[in-house]
């Protein structure tokens, strides 16, 4: 399974990317409040996200609300 990475900016905005880049490279100049890895699945026609790990390059861990933010971003509920 390919690992996907993410950072959360200002506790609100997820940025999703592939393992080809480091968290630090993508976060340049931004206020990163959490970071880690994620995987997705579909359950009952909804996107489910599981977040785990941390960014070693930024020394920042994932947070409990990260999966909900990414699910909202990936769904049509993003407002």
Element (H, E) at 46: strand 46-52
- Per the confidence metrics, is the pTM higher than 0.85? yes
- Close Cβ partners of 76 (under 8 Å, ≥ 6 residues apart): none
Q: How many residues does the chain have?
A: 79
Q: What pLDDT does residue 78 have?
A: 56
Element (H, E) at 32: strand 32-43
List the structure tokens of 31.
């206020």
Summarize pLDDT for 14-71 with one digit per residue, the tens: 999 998 999 999 998 899 999 999 999 988 888 899 999 999 999 999 999 999 999 9
């Amino acid at each position: 399974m390919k690992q996907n990475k993410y950072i959360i900016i200002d506790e609100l905005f997820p940025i999703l990317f592939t393992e080809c880049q480091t968290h630090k490279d993508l976060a340049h100049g931004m206020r990163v409040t959490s970071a880690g890895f994620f995987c997705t699945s579909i359950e009952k026609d909804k996107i489910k996200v599981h977040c785990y790990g941390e960014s070693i390059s930024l020394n920042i861990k994932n947070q409990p609300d990260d999966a909900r933010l990414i699910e909202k971003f990936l769904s049509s509920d993003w407002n």
